[in-house]
Amino acid sequence: MYETPYRLNVSTIIRVESGRPYNILAGEDLNGDANGGAIPGPDRALRVPGDLSSSISRNLGTLPAQISVDLRFTHRMPLGERASVDAILDIFNLFNRANFIDVNNIFGVGAYPTNPSPTFGQFQQVAPPRQAQLAVKINF
């Protein structure tokens, strides 16, 4: 936190995360245990179609890194001897970076990695864009 000469406090949170891993799934019940399909789809893609022993390992896919900078401005105004009011401005994701948090992980039944389904690997969800909020805090 930094206090400016005008009694304005400035603070920041910088978050840098490596990409989160995810499972690459076939989207079908390949081993016939009635526990497969697209959701939740626990059967992983195969390197050799039809050969269950060629199942790829868990968490083979990785989302892109996530980076976010949040900024807060606070100004305290006294109200008498014991009370004060804080005016607060928060800005989240200051640089409006697209942080992808979900991907289509259904590879399909083709040979991994050469024959994916057309939508495999497409991003499906992104974290919130830049947002700002104003607040007033009364201290007594």
What's the pLDDT score for residue 38?
Answer: 47
Read off the pLDDT of each residue in 12-30 and give the average, rounded to a whole number.
92
pTM above 0.75, yes or no: yes
- Is 87 exposed, middle or buried (CB count within 10 Å of its CB: 0-12, 13-18, 19+)? middle
pLDDT per position as a tens digit, 40-81: 556 889 999 888 889 999 999 999 999 999 999 999 999 999
Which domain covers residue 61, as residue numbers?
A: 2-139
In the chain, the number of structural domains is 1
pLDDT per position as a tens digit, 80-111: 999 999 999 999 999 999 999 999 999 988 89
Using an 8 Å Cβ cutoff, are 117 and 107 in contact?
Answer: yes
Using an 8 Å Cβ cutoff, are 27 and 46 in contact?
Answer: no
